[in-house]
Structure 1
Amino acid sequence: MTNIKFHSGENIPLEMHKVRIVQKLNLPPIERRVEAIQEAGYNTFLLKNEDIFMDMLTDSGVNAMSDRQQASMLEADDSYAGSATFTKLENKVEEIFGTKYFLPTHQGRACENILAQVYVTPGSIVPMNYHFTTTKAHISLNGGQVEEIFLEEALNLTSDVAFKGNVDIDKLNALIAENGAEKIAFVRMEAGTNLIGGQPFSLANMRDVRKVCDEHNLLLILDASLLADNLHFIKEREEQYQYATIRDITREMADLSDIIYFSARKLGCARGGGICTNSEDAYMKMREYITLYEGFLTYGGMSVREMEAITIGLEETMDEQMINQGPQFIAYMTEELVKHGVPVVTPAGGLGCHVNASDFLPHVEQSAYPAGALAAAIYIVGGVRGMERGTLSEQRDENGVETLSAMELVRLALPRRVFTLSQVKYAIDRIVWLYENRDLIGGLEFVDEPKVLRFFFGKLGTTSAWPQLLADKFREDFGDSL
């Protein structure tokens, strides 16, 4: 980690890069922001980019590429089959993960689809440290059932536990004993549990999970999409690895896994994904699905230019001063909000700063989607687009009953090397003001509700005229300021 002390005593993250290409931003007036969120059905996914000042929806596919990545894209070999570009990527994956077989895909959820089609059968169970929305959807569509076996501490939003993404080993053993190993499709570990605040797991915990899998002849599958953050936290928080290299930590995690998959929209700062393994049996089972769903085996739905960029991006992920940038800025944002009493997930995890909507809006019932309402309110007061990670991101059960989420979070992602410190401070300022005026925010209700993945394209309305009341108060306090 870059250890820079400031004379002021402030703990300020320092950008370890310089900006050489810029993109103009637009901050619409608050009247337009109220109109825009209404047009989007109070769903931040449906906002248009022209109406957004800071896009903190996700870090997927929007991380800034390095100069080396941009340059590499000019070297791409555009062959349909046998591309030299694919060979470069395949070799880099083998070098970093030590895996013999690599199957390219267009992004991470394509990997999930293929893994679910191959390994999930009706009635089978997939234990995991926490689910991700698309992962759960693919497993469910193939008749499987997700069982979350996280630590109880994982749902304690305010905590000092370093590895809240760990698997509860006792729960894993009990699940196997109750259902039988034959019903377990595979065990999944997500590096950096997305839906509970980007919380990491430890390598010690992964070794314990590996032992259980070996005892019962079970596959251990690693979702490495947020691996970069998890690598950083292992080095920072797990004493045994404080002097290990990022490359060595990566290899140990890979050696503990039977199959690794990743979204390069996150890991590698480009657009694509892939599945890697040392098992010829697993490779042969999945291979035909690549051609069926993704494309030929040497591009898998990716542009060769993106593959060139991924190759460089994976190599850059082995640089400690590259992967520490996201977590440092997230920690800064989290700590500043804590200073002002804003409820957030602690300790700060990866991917983004996570605001606790339940405590931010205790007056909004969970059935009125407080995290969705808070995400809309943050956009209204700042032009900052975050993502709801709560009940809105769930789906109703087979009887149409609402599934209430264990957490109501608004994720404010910090894409790598995209925002400056002044922009992060701006977002903090607007959220602090909003917290001071939180009683003005009301709930939401569906007006157009898809049955699957409703948070992507569902539309909602407000339960009162609270957006305009919020805008009026903003104008009262800020005048003509945007």
Structure 2
Amino acid sequence: MSGHPAEPWRVKMVEPLRATTREYREQAIRAAGWNPCLLRSEDVYVDLFTDSGTNAMSDRQWSALMRGDEAYAGARSFYVLEEAVRTHYGYEHVIPVHQGRGGENILSRCLLRPGTHVAGNMYFPSTRAHQELNGATFHDVIIDEAHDPDDEHPFKGNVDLGKLKVLIDAVGAGTIPYLSIAATVNMAGGQPISVANLTEVAELAHHHGIPVFLDTARAVENAWFVKQREPGWADRSITDILRALCAPTDGAVMSAKKDSLANIGGWIGLRDPELAEQARGLVLLYEGLHTYGGMAGRDMEAIAQGITESVDEDHISARIAQVEYLGRRLHTAGVPIIRPVGGHCVCVDATATLPHIPRTQFTAQTLAAAVYLDAGIRGVERGGVSAGRDPRTGENRFPPLEFLRLAIPRRVYTQSHIDLVADSVIRVHRHRDRITSGLAFAYEPSHLRFFQARFAPVRGTSIWD
């Protein structure tokens, strides 16, 4: 018995994968500037770079594509999406965008001005980039436990109300246009926020006239953790809990490429009709008409169907179980990971795995390259590279956590693939002393540098001895 539940789906179509040799992968990662993001997908055997847009759609979603209404204005497919969002998330005004960061851009342009401040439960690179480009300063008010990879706190995504109060007193409520709260915190390893904490955060913010906006990209996973861990919610449905998470907030930005099992798309959900009208005006400039927001009608149909499937308890329980299985295998083998295991990913603590590689040599980026070299597995760095530079000082930012994120796409990989990943990461960990060089920038973009940066080994021509 493996302790892993059978997947609640069966394979209907396959995509061939190509195994490569160690020598081939060495050439590929060199050509990619030691950045797994720049690899060609055909050179990757198991791709855990992200769970965003990499999900397998169901037969019902593929059927929904055929119902897409491609009218430029007022397409029927928009109203199908609108009804799905209203039903499951509870926001009255639904504005489609091409993906989550399109929504981040619109919200930032609507509300932020130079000198303003945004507080949230840990940063996310694209979200903070939009905030800073519009003149705001981001403040992390997450609980301290979130920065400790070994802490088993069940809701490491919670906001520290004391930190939030200090910030409001220090800068003044009038300079905080909104709070940016994530349901499951990506940069903490997919850690959830409790309904109780989010409700208290909203009460405090609203007392000071500050709206609260929720990143709902993985809110269904957050709802699952609430059901399992938060007292009083065990007998509630995932649909009920999802509505309860959204209820205290004033709006949301959604990347439908995550929970909603789609390959593209997103939306902004709002309660304030005036803000909604302002957002629609900017969507016209940056995304497309307000009834398609950069998406085809077929994409909106697939998202609407995906929303319905996302809250199915057989689906979400199996999804979380697959992630937990990988985490359990690594933890049992002594690989240091962020605990507890999050909703969409398993995160290997790079500083604990490679203590001999200084953070100035981008420890997690080095580990990501090593895991690719070993078995063709692509993960992504989350640490000094992702954090970028302070816009005021120009210095590299080094957040408390430095890890390799292994994000698992939904309904894509079997247990055999997950076992292959576990075997590889365990093997790299056992031979970690052979990783003798970190990395330095050979090319550094101005924004979101982890996507396009190129690196070179600090010593010699390879990171391995």
Question: How would you bin the TM-score normalised by the shorter chain?
Answer: over 0.9
CA deviations on 1:359-381 (whole Å, 9 max, x unpaired) are 00000000000000000000000
The answer to whether 1:158 aligns with 2:156 is no
What's the C-alpha RMSD, in Å, of the aligned pairs? Answer: 1.2
Cα distance, 1:405 vs structure 2: 2.2
Task: For residue 66 of structure 2, give the secondary structure of its aligned residue in structure 1.
Answer: helix
Q: 1:4-403 residue pairs with structure 2 within 5 A?
A: 8=1, 10-270=2-262, 271-397=264-390, 398-403=392-397
Cα distance in 1 for residues equivalent to 2:256 and 2:403: 25
Cα distance in 1 for residues equivalent to 2:201 and 2:393: 35
Cα distance in 2 for residues equivalent to 1:49 and 1:99: 37
The answer to whether 1:459 aligns with 2:454 is yes
Cα distance in 1 for residues equivalent to 2:197 and 2:258: 23
Letter in 2 for 1:382: A
CA deviations on 1:393-417 (whole Å, 9 max, x unpaired) are 1222333322112211100011011
Cα distance in 2 for residues equivalent to 1:90 and 1:62: 23
- Structure 1: runs of 5 or more not aligned: 1-7, 471-482
Letter in 2 for 1:455: F
Change (3 A) 1:461 1:468: closer
Cα distance, 1:468 vs structure 2: 7.2
Task: For residue 303 of structure 2, give the secondary structure of its aligned residue in structure 1.
Answer: helix
Task: For residue 354 of structure 1, give the secondary structure of its aligned residue in structure 2.
Answer: strand
Task: For residue 300 of structure 2, give the secondary structure of its aligned residue in structure 1.
Answer: helix
CA deviations on 1:38-87 (whole Å, 9 max, x unpaired) are 00001111000111100000001001111110111011111111111111
Task: For residue 15 of structure 2, give the secondary structure of its aligned residue in structure 1.
Answer: coil
The corresponding residue for 1:478 is none
Letter in 2 for 1:253: L
Letter in 2 for 1:379: Y
Pick from 397, 417, 426 the counterpart of residue 411 of structure 2: 417
Is the 1:395–1:402 contact (alpha carbons within 8 Å) kept by the matching residues of 2?
Answer: yes
The corresponding residue for 1:436 is 430
Cα distance in 1 for residues equivalent to 2:393 and 2:115: 19
Change (3 A) 1:400 1:98: closer
Is the 2:457–2:463 contact (alpha carbons within 8 Å) kept by the matching residues of 1?
Answer: no
Letter in 2 for 1:273: G
Larger mean CA deviation between 42-51 and 94-103 belongs to 94-103
Cα distance in 2 for residues equivalent to 1:254 and 1:190: 11
Cα distance in 1 for residues equivalent to 2:247 and 2:189: 26
Cα distance in 2 for residues equivalent to 1:469 and 1:175: 45
Letter in 2 for 1:371: A
CA deviations on 1:104-134 (whole Å, 9 max, x unpaired) are 0000000000110011111111000011000
Letter in 2 for 1:124: T
Percent identical residues: 38
Task: For residue 240 of structure 1, give the secondary structure of its aligned residue in structure 2.
Answer: coil
Cα distance in 2 for residues equivalent to 1:394 and 1:214: 30
Task: For residue 324 of structure 1, give the secondary structure of its aligned residue in structure 2.
Answer: helix
Letter in 2 for 1:28: T
Cα distance in 2 for residues equivalent to 1:410 and 1:162: 21
* Runs of at least 4 residues off by over 3 Å: 465-470
Cα distance in 2 for residues equivalent to 1:409 and 1:13: 28
Is the 1:108–1:273 contact (alpha carbons within 8 Å) kept by the matching residues of 2?
Answer: yes
Cα distance, 1:469 vs structure 2: 4.1
Is the 2:323–2:346 contact (alpha carbons within 8 Å) kept by the matching residues of 1?
Answer: yes
Letter in 1 for 2:35: N
Task: For residue 234 of structure 1, give the secondary structure of its aligned residue in structure 2.
Answer: helix
Cα distance in 2 for residues equivalent to 1:393 and 1:39: 21
Is the 1:326–1:415 contact (alpha carbons within 8 Å) kept by the matching residues of 2?
Answer: no
The corresponding residue for 1:446 is 441
The corresponding residue for 1:4 is none
